[in-house]
Structures are given as C-alpha cells and as structure tokens.
Structure 1
C-alpha cells in the first residue's frame, strides 16, 4: 500500500489526481454520504495479501483490498464501521479481470 499524508478528501488537488493517474492508471472516487477517498485498482500484491488475510473473514478481505488500493481521502471510511461497511459493497469493483481463453492445440 502506498503511504499517503492526505487524510482528508478536501486536501486532494487535481494535480495530485493527475499524478496518481500517471503512476497507477485509472483512479476512482469512492464516496459515502459526506466522506470520500481516491482509490486505484487492486494489483497482484494487494490481491494476494487480501486473499491470504481474508480466507476466514470476508470483511478482512475487503479491508485489505481497500487499504491496498487507498491513495488518499477521509480516513473515517477506513476507521468508522458505518462508512466502511457501506463502501464494502463497491470494493469488489476494484478487482478487475480481463477475459482469458484456453485453447487446446
């Protein structure tokens, strides 16, 4: 997970978003009521860590994905259960797959 000093969505500038896009590809605003954050898509390392951490606890899986994709924003989303549970419904969208095929030759 990339460490950030941006602990409030209001601190995020368009320039910061442009820098994140350049570094991580697509970035997204994840919002719940009056709180918001910027996240990136999950990478292999994040998915691996979340999968091993969340084998018995699906909420732990969601937490590890969110923490691994977190770029900056209102920390209440991570720390307050009401916000966290609300955004958990969208976390699966951060894990994207391409369609693959397997053909016997």
Structure 2
C-alpha cells in the first residue's frame, strides 16, 4: 500500500494551493491513493460532461483530482465500485449560513 510522506502531502498542498489532501484506501486490495477537492471550473466541466452517468462522473472526478498513490484505486473495478459514498468526501465544502434580514 502506497503511503505518502508528510513532506509529499505538504508539497501537494503547496503545489495545488489546497488545505486538504484526502486518502481513499482499500484494505482488501492493500491500495491507497490521494486526492484533492475539485475547483469550480472542474466541477462545471465534470457536471456538464457526465450528466447521464454517475459512474462516469465518479471516474472523471477521481482522474481529475488524483494526486498520487496506487492507480488501482481508479482502475480496479472492485475498488472503484466500492468507493461509492466515500467519493463524496471529495465534494464536501464549506457550509454557509443564511440570515434573513
């Protein structure tokens, strides 16, 4: 299983100007890969090009946001199909408050 060093994680954060690096792992297959959240332009592109298929969206999201690690996270069908809800961790953003005045 690939394990990034703290130096590598810090380098990804600096290179991509991000605050978080997200690891997705498969214990069964002993694989781990690291991802970042998509930016607004990437979300527009991903949403426009994959409206008819959630699987295509997930595949495109992983490919777009991949930083490093075991590529089998994206290519092994057993792992890819198991990502499901965990992929949503790439899509959690700040919660804003609404205030009626």
The alignment of Structure 1 onto Structure 2 pairs a total of residues equal to 96
Give the TM-score, by structure 1 length: 0.77
CA RMSD of aligned residues (A): 2.0
For residues 1-105 of structure 1, the aligned pairs below 5 Å read: 9-10=2-3, 12-22=4-14, 23-33=17-27, 34-97=30-93, 98-101=95-98, 103=100
- Offset of residue 14 of structure 1: 2.3
4+ residue segments displaced more than 4 Å: none
Asked whether the 8 Å contact 1:35–1:76 carries over to 2, the reply is yes
TM-score (norm 2): 0.80
Unaligned runs of 5+ in 1: 1-7
> 1 or 2 for the larger relative contact order (CA 8 Å, sep ≥6)?
1
